[in-house]
Copies of this chain bind each other. A is one copy, B any other.
Amino acid sequence: MNKPLQTAVDAENAHSRQTPDTPAVVIEEKVMRRNIERVQARLDALGLANRPHIKTHRLARVARLQMQAGAAAVTCQKIGEAEVMADCGIGPILISYNIIGPAKLARLRALASRCELAVSADSAEVVAGLADTFASADRPLDVLVECDTGACRCGVQTPADAFALARRINAEPGLRFAGLMSYPPMTEIEGVYGWLDEAVRKIRGAGLDCTTVSLGGTPNLDSLLPGTCVTEHRPGTYVYNDRSLIARRCCTIDDCALTVLATVVSRPTETRAIIDAGSKSLSSDLLGLDGYGLIKGHGDAVITALSEEHGHVDLTASVWRPAIGDTVRVIPNHACVVSNLFDEVNFADGAGGFEAVRVDARGRSR
């Protein structure tokens, strides 16, 4: 039943080709490479290791470029992503996520036998599961303590809690305490350093190694400080950039490597255009913004709403009057969720050529 589909996809994947039909993700390779190099240089200058987060692209090809540019390792959010990266020979890998339950723990143990692997944990329950799983392993699993330094997501709540969990990990024969990990708040990260400093002092004061202190996020790349306890950064979105990062003044329109190519399919009124990219192509992520994406070259046109397959464009404030059949390029609000909607993305060589590449870890959120 699925045979014809698979064949069609494989045929599409095989070769370079003309402009893809819409809706399609297009990635300007030159812009992407520049983004990779720029952030690597920034982290090099700060003396921080780069462990880029592959959740943004879920592509072995891009992870390889990041490693070649000088990344020390890659970060994955889920085991499924890490398995794909390991299949493609990419590592070392940090899974910055609490791994819970027998199915995932069994996969984690199998994965650890074939790549250099670390995970994070933020509770005794998670550590207990890891400890049981790796008690009989040939080599201990590296575990970082996840710290909630203000983003209010996962993480232990105080430096004292971080210390306590570090000791617990250290006491387990199958585990090795490898350091601290935090996804910091996107603004005002200065308090983060104080938090982590205190935790590191406690941990080292007890004679434990604390090799890695890891921060993450593209928005705070500019506010990172040199000469702190932090040893590495895990930026993700920087590889493509997106409208949310333009809004945060982290990049310009020209730094956005990923766009969604769409066609104007209807012009029902003078000031309304409908494009063939809706929430199944652009996602509904707003990230605090108005509108669902930026139409390149037509910043005054507003994507006011999305149906699943329709983008509703209000032209009231714009002089642009597109014709049916015109194509547009939309910079999405959030690149990381967009690349996960498509089975393939199209790398543009800047000379009119496109190469369709399957998104290796699309949908691997398990």
Which A residues lie at the B interface, using CB under 8 A? 1-2, 4-6, 8, 21-24, 55, 60, 77-78, 83-84, 87-88, 97-98, 100-101, 103-104, 122-123, 125-126, 148, 152-157, 263, 265-269, 272, 274, 276, 278-281, 283-286, 307-310, 312, 323-325, 336-337, 340-343, 358, 360, 362-363, 365-366
| Contact indicator A285/B279 (Cβ below 8 Å) | yes
| Contact indicator A309/B24 (Cβ below 8 Å) | no
When A and B form their complex, which 3 residue pairs have the shortest distance between CB atoms, in order from nearest?
A154-B266, A125-B324, A284-B284
For A125, list chain B residues within 8 Å (CB). 323-325
- A23-B366, A324-B126, A366-B21 known; A284-B285 Cβ under 8 A: yes
- A100-B324, A340-B280 known; A269-B122 Cβ under 8 A: no
| Contact indicator A337/B310 (Cβ below 8 Å) | no
Q: What separation, in Å, do the CA atoms of A88 and B3 have in the docked complex?
A: 10
Pairs across A and B, CB under 8 Å, 9 listed: A5-B360, A21-B101, A78-B309, A98-B324, A125-B325, A152-B312, A154-B310, A156-B268, A343-B363
- A263-B100, A274-B154 known; A23-B268 Cβ under 8 A: no
Chain B residue at minimum C-beta to C-beta distance from A304: B152
Contact of A336 among B24, B156, B265, B308 (CB under 8 A): B308
For A265, list chain B residues within 8 Å (CB). 97-98, 100, 126, 154
Contact of A360 among B2, B285, B309 (CB under 8 A): B2
Copies held by the complex: 2
Q: Chain B nearest CB: distance from A59 CB in Å?
A: 11
Contact of A325 among B60, B84, B100, B103 (CB under 8 A): B100
